A and B are shown apart, each in its own frame.
Chain A
Amino acid sequence: MNGVELKDRIEDGWPGRARCRFDAARRVNEVTCERAALADVCRRIFHEWDFSFAGLIVEEGPDAWRLRYVFYGERDAGWVHVLVAAPLAENAFPSVVVEAGIYAADWHEREAEDLFGVRFEGHPRLGDFVLHDDAWQESVEPMRRGFDAVAAMRNRRPDADWRPQRILQEPGAFVMPIGPKFSGVTESVHFLLETVGEDVIRSSTRLFYKWRAVEKLAEGKTPDEVLLLAERFAATTAFAHGLAYCQAVESIAGADVPARACVLRVFLAELERLRQHAGAIQEICESTALVVATSQAGILEEELLRVSGNLAGHRYLFGLLTPGGLACDLPTGACREALGAARAVLARMRSLDDELRISSSFLDRIEEVGVIFPQVARAYSLVGPVARASAFVRDLRRVQPYSGYESYEFDVPSEEEGDGYARLRVLFAEARQSMRIMEQAVDALREGEIRAPVNLRGGAALGAVEAPRGAAFHWVRLDDGGRVSRYHIITPSFVNWHSFHLAAEKFAFQDFPIILSTFDLSVAENDR
């Protein structure tokens, strides 16, 4: 089904109750519907027409709420944005989790409820999420227009003795809290493992200890200022997020990024993926206490950081992107040199892969742990290597290509088992595909401009990029003065973390670090 057919189906399906506008250039069907029809429209898009749920974007207009449910499908189907509005005084909406069975929307609704005070009727778990219950009064709605990002509410102090509610009600059951500070060099996050002894029965994660309210900070700033936030809120994948953000701004401004900049962007994005995957592989080796492999993978990661630093000045590729293209040109010769260095690293990564595949003590620990079934991956609209290891394959570079990805030859690796080992194999396989793309990018480099003029104007757009951990969506709205009035970031870690408790239930305690590492989750990326 293509975008035009979809438009007809929607208009036939709900005559007079849902209007549809098809934007052929962006391949977006914008469906405006009544609140009463929302759940039904979303249900059919998700369950019958097989779209993924990308996220929910809430905007507070001068006198109305505007909610935007974003879906994306296969290549031809494009995007669907379902819009509903309501007067500010009426802040109750149907929950698409409950009414349409879209579990993928669960955390999105919880976040919106927490930050805007919008209610989703029937949602079973609202409350304590971004704003920790022990630190904030119920009435605080920090993303509302009137809330001052700088002055208000400084210096509230969370209660360090906060204890979660226990769900498991068996004799001898107790909760093992881990965090927010745990283990050696780890991000701050709180795991709650419920157990009756040896095995952990269920687990949950309390996130947002690192919430820096990046989306609120962006409001009122210029696009150049917000770019700093886009690159720095989750900087292990700074380039991917910066790119998604720039694409949104370019889309609003109608800027045409020059060919050379597009090719360089692809090259850098794949270099970042290669490096991040090496880092993820290192974490997996470390979690199984395989010392030599950990050390070898660590060497690969450091070498790729050096390749990045040598090519671009910065080891995490800061400061290269700018709306309209790139802030500086990278000489073709330097790219070729970086390619050669990366190729040498990849060769050693392959041999590490070969060794791991025949290390039975290693395989024993990661096979059949942390399983995500394909139907779960679909129901939760999981993204990135985690989804693809569970046979749910929707890589944005392939299904909704950007920056010229449609002209590169590459495979999208996938596996069926959905366990820790499948995720590791996907990481290795994707690293090889990244190299394939980088080779083609260097060959495609032609001399030319690297930056197009950007005429800022009012409007809104979504930037979407396949980041190393999966799909990243950046929604940007500019006011008529060209300043950011709404910024919303939907990250792969946020989406995949939602399913993590399903992989981490009924397991032996010592497997926990392994399950966690194979998910390659970033707390900074989740918390924003």
Chain B
Amino acid sequence: MSRWVIRGIRTGIKTTGYPRDPEHAPGVTPGLPVGDVLGAEAAALAERCPTGALDQKDGYIAVDYRRCVHCYRCVRGVPRPLAWQAGYEWAGLSGEPRAQDRLGGPFRRSIHILVVDAGDCGACLNEVKQLNNAYYNMHRLGFFITPTPRHADVLLVVGPVTDHMHAALKKIHDAMPTPKRVVAVGACALSGGVFAESFVCGRGVSEVLPVDVEVPGNPPPPLAILHGLLVAAGRKPAVPLTSAEGGM
């Protein structure tokens, strides 16, 4: 057994400096497109977006980050690509009534998170899983995954919510004690992604539960999910979910 201990110590510290310092390591994020003035080419470029994430008005392109599925069709194979940002602090507040100051409070120090897969493709869940690895080690921030709704403060939902998961999701949410928060993670959970809308699934979690924090990305990288949890805990400010609101 001691062999493993030594091996563990030799590995050294890998953990990111985020949220204290920004993380610049290559490959930690797929990035997102940036709203831009494109003039005459704007309309054609907005057309290329398969999910309606790009909105074009008077030559200006606005991005709805909640819908972007990282298809890169607005940057690859076009003469004038949209600008791209490599950040990861993407989490925003959902809707008006639950303002920033109402989050936080009892959630500041430590939160227990229940993760529910409501039909994801496996990638969002895999990125959530990375938060437990040495690079992100979310325990240091007081974030813990719990398997039971009774202990959970935050419900983290991935996937567009298939009809077969609808009842189970509601039941789990009901079983959680109050106060509680819902964090929807990934394009599918926010807008249905490429799967909405159909006879077996809808346009995301907000059709089923009151959502507090939304984390864009398909999938969002671990750091973006971490940002979402920090926003839910009132420890980081939220950012706008569309470029029209001045986001990014």
Contacts and interface: CB of A to CB of B under 8 A. Distances in A.
Q: Do A and B come from one complex?
A: yes
Interface of A: 132, 135, 142, 147-160, 180-188, 208-214, 216-217, 224-225, 228-229, 232-236, 238, 279, 282, 290-293, 295-296, 298-299, 301-302, 305-311, 313-316, 318-319, 322, 327-328, 355, 359, 361, 522-525, 527
B162 A305 contact: no
27 contacts: A153-B199, A180-B165, A180-B168, A181-B117, A183-B147, A184-B147, A209-B168, A210-B159, A212-B201, A213-B201, A214-B195, A228-B50, A229-B195, A232-B121, A234-B121, A295-B134, A296-B8, A298-B135, A299-B135, A306-B27, A308-B27, A309-B28, A310-B26, A315-B221, A327-B73, A328-B77, A355-B3
Contact of A302 (B11, B77, B135): B135
Interface SS majority for chain B = loop
Given A187-B120, A236-B121, A527-B119, 7 more contacts: A159-B167, A211-B200, A212-B195, A212-B200, A216-B198, A292-B5, A308-B27
B167 A212 contact: no
B22 to A, nearest CB: 16
Nearest to A352: B7
A366 B222 CA distance: 30
A157 B195 contact: no
Contacts of A182: 147
Chain B, interface size: which category? 35 or more
B11 A299 contact: yes
B130 interface: yes
A235 B122 CA distance: 6
Interface of B: 1, 3-5, 7-8, 11, 14, 25-31, 50, 69-73, 76-77, 115-123, 125-130, 132-136, 145-147, 159-160, 162-168, 171-172, 193-195, 197-202, 218-219, 221-222
A522 B28 CA distance: 24
Contacts of B121: 232-236, 238, 524
Contacts of B50: 224-225, 228
Given A184-B147, A187-B125, A327-B77, A318 B163 contact: no
A228 B53 CA distance: 14
A314 B71 CA distance: 9
A299 B159 CA distance: 25
A213 B200 contact: yes
Contacts of A236: 121-123, 126
A217 B195 contact: yes
Nearest to A358: B3
Interface centre among A208, A232, A359, by most B CB within 10 Å? A232
B218 A210 contact: no
A301 B133 CA distance: 9
Given A305-B130, A318-B30, A211 B164 contact: yes
Nearest to B135: A302
Contacts of B3: 355, 359
A292 B8 contact: yes
Contacts of A238: 121, 123
Nearest to A316: B123
A158 B164 contact: yes
Nearest to B1: A361
A180 B163 CA distance: 13
Contacts of A296: 7-8, 11
A158 B122 contact: no
A318 B70 contact: yes
Contact of B122 (A180, A213, A234, A293): A234
Contacts of A217: 195, 198
